[in-house]
Amino acid sequence: MTPDFTLDHSFKSYPFNAAPCRASELAGKGWNLLADDLPFPLAVIHRSALLHNVAWMQDYARRKGVALAPHGKTTMSPQLFQMQLAGGAWGMSFATLYQVAVGVEAGARRIIIANQVVCDADFDALATLLARHPDLRVWFLVDSVAQLTLIEDWASRRAATTPFDVLLEMGIPGQRTGCRTLAQALHLAQKMVASRAVRFGGIECYEGGVATCESAHDVREVTALVHRVTEVVKACDQQNLFEGNELLITAGGSAVFDLVIPLLRLHDMQRPLLGVLRSGCYITHDHGNYARFLRLVEQREGLDASLRPALEVWAMVQSVPEPGLALLTCGRRDVSYDLEMPLPQRHAARASRQANAVPADWKISALNDQHAYLRFDPAGLIPQVGDRVSLGISHPCTTFDKWRWLPLVEDDGAITGAVATRF
C-alpha cells in the first residue's frame, strides 16, 4: 500500500532496538506477532479479513445499485483510504476539514463532509483545497438558515464567487443535527436556492442514532426516517429546488446499512439520482457492537456470512495476583472502551506460536490507563505470566485513534506491512 512511511522507536510498540525502516520493508524483517518480536500491547489488522471486507462491502453496494463513500474518520489512515478507493469506492466521507485535507492528500476527489461547516477558518480551508485541486468536489451539510447566514457572511467578506456544494440534512427529533420537519426543510431549501453562496445538490441523513440492535424496532424506526426523508426529497424535486445535473442522496450505514437502501434508490426524480452509502466501520468490523448489528443484517438479507473482524489488540499477562484475576499490559490508552469492555478472543501460551480460543468465562471487567482486568474461572484454564491474549474490540474508531501505526499480519502471524493513522 502507498504512501510508504518510515517507522522507528518513536512509534508505540515498534521495537526499540530495531533500526528505522519503511513500512514496505517490514515483510523482509521476518517478524511474527507471536514470536514476541514486537513489544505488547500491539494493535494489529489481519490482512485477509481486511481485503475481504473491502471487497464484500463494495460488492454489496454494487449489487444494491448504490455508490460507496466510506467514512474516513473510522481509521484516518491514508493507506486504507487508498485501498478503499482502489477497490471501487465512489469517494470518501469525513467529519472535519482537517480530515478532508488528509483524504485529498491520499487521492480522494469526491468527498462528503457528513457534518455542518460553520467556521471561517474551515471555509477558508475548503476554498483553498478546491482552488488547488480543480478535479476536487466536496459537499457539506446545512441544516439551518442560521448556518446559511454564516456561509453567506463569509462569502461576502472574502468576495467569494464560487458557491459551495451543500446537502440539506434531515434529522430526528431528540437526536443530533438536521432539520426536524418538512416545513423547516423546504424553507431552508428555498433559502439555499436563492443564495449565491451555496449550490443545493441533495439530501443527507444519519440513521444510526435510532438503531438499538433489536430488529423489529430498527426496521420500524429507520423506515420511518426513510419515509420522512423521501417526503422531503420528492417535495424539493417537485418544486425544482435541486441545482446541478445530479441529485445526491446519502445515508450513514455502518450498523443498519440494509435499511436505508430504499432511500438511496428512489425513482421518478426529475434529475438522475445517485444514492451514496457512507459506511465506515465495515473496513475492519469488530467483535462486539457491529458484530451484533451485522447478525441482524444477515438475517434480514438472507446472508450466510458477510464482514469479518480484522482489528484486535494483543497484550501480555503481567500479573496473576489472586485466583480468578489476571492483569494484562493493555488499557484505555490502547483499546476501545466507549461502548463496552474489550472482548478476549485468543490465548497463546508463553513462547508458543499457537493461539487458541479463550474459555467462554474469560471477561475484561475494567480498564485503567495501562491495565486490563481479566476475570476467569480458577477451576478452568489459568493464564500465566508471559502468556499473550488477544482482545476483540467494540467500535473500531476509538481503537484506531490510539495508534499512530498498525501492523498488517497474515493468518500465520507474519508481519508483512503496516498502515499509519493521521488523527
Segment 18-42, tens digit of pLDDT? 999 999 999 999 999 999 999 999 9
CA proximity to 332, closest of 317, 342, 323, 322: 342
CA distance linking residue 175 with residue 170, whole number of Å:
11
Query: pLDDT (tens digit, 9 = 90+) per residue, 306-348?
Result: 999 999 999 999 999 999 999 999 999 999 999 999 999 999 9
Q: 373: Cβ–Cβ under 8 A, 6 or more apart, which residues? A: 325, 327, 364, 365, 366, 367
Beta-carbon contacts of residue 414 (< 8 Å; ≥ 6 apart) = 27, 30, 31, 32, 33
Residue-level pLDDT at 1:
42
Question: Percent of the chain at pLDDT above 70?
Answer: 100
pLDDT band at 376 (very low <50, low <70, confident <90, very high): very high
What confidence score (pLDDT) does residue 3 get?
A: 74
pLDDT at 130 over 90: yes
Average pLDDT for 177-197: 98
Total residue count of the chain as it appears in this document: 423
For residue range 213-265, list pLDDT tens digits in order.
999 999 999 999 999 999 999 999 999 999 998 999 999 988 999 999 999 99
SS3 (DSSP) at 45: strand
| CA–CA gap between residue 15 and residue 120 (Å, rounded) | 43
Distances (CA, A) of 202 to 21, 81, 122, 141, 312: 46, 24, 21, 10, 38
In percent, the amount of the chain with pLDDT more than 90 equals 98
What number is the average pLDDT over the span 197-221?
A: 97
For residue 383, whether the previous peptide bond is cis, meaning omega lies within 30 degrees of 0, is: no
User: Residue 2's pLDDT is what?
Assistant: 52
Q: Whole-number mean pLDDT of the chain? A: 97
The strand pairing partners of 311, in sequence order, are 45
